[in-house]
Amino acid sequence: MSLSSLDLTGDADFPFVGFHARPDHYTKSVAFWESAFARAVGDDARTWSVWMRDPFKDGHPILSRINRQRRRGLLVQQVLKAPDRFWFKCWMSCAEGDEGELLPYLFVETFISQPAERYFDRLVEKWCREGADTDFMRRMTDAIRIEASQVYPTLDFGWPPQRD
C-alpha cells in the first residue's frame, strides 16, 4: 500500500490525521507504515520482527522492527500533522540490546505524506535492506535534511543538536 493507492477519506495529501482519536485512522496508519516497510525491504521483510509496541496507540512508535542477526533496528514515530509546515525528522541512535550491547537503530518522526513516504523509502532501503553502516546513515540523514529544507522551505526538522 502506497499513499497513492490508499482509499482516502478527508485530506488526500495528509491522510489519517485523526489517528490519535479515531481507531480506524490509527489502524490505517499502522497498515500504511507496515506496507511501506515491506515495500522498501522486499524479501528481507521476513528477517525483521516487531521490536517495540505502541500500548497507548498514539504513534510512539507506530512501527518498530528489529533484525537480531544484523543487529539493527527501526523506529517510526507518527506525529500529528503540523498546520503550516512539512515535518520530517530522522537520525541514527542506539538502544541497549538483549545482551547489554548497543543496538543501532534508525529513528524517523513524521506524519503520513508523499514527501515523508519518499524519504522513508530511501532511508529504509539503505539501512534495512542494503545494510548500510551507521556512518553512512548519519551522512544520509544529514543529506536528506538539507535536501528537504531546500525543496520544502517551511520544513521543520526539530533536529537534534548538530554533532561536532
Q: What are the domain boundaries of the chain?
A: 3-151
pTM, rounded to two decimals: 0.83
Sheet strand arrangement including 88-96 = 49-50, 63-67, 72-78, 102-110, 88-96
**Is pLDDT above 90 for 113?**
no
pLDDT in tens, 36-59: 999 999 999 999 999 999 888 888
Q: pLDDT: is 150 or 92 the higher one?
A: 92
CA atoms within 13 A on the CB side of 86: 17
pLDDT in tens, 5-39: 554 444 555 677 778 888 898 999 999 999 999 99
Angle at 139 between CA 67 and CA 121, to 5 degrees: 50
Distance (Å, rounded) from C-alpha 139 to C-alpha 56? 33
- The mean per-residue pLDDT over the stretch 69-83 comes to 89
Which residues are CB-contacts of 141 (< 8 A; sequence separation ≥ 6)? 90, 91, 92, 106, 123
Distance (Å, rounded) from C-alpha 73 to C-alpha 94? 9
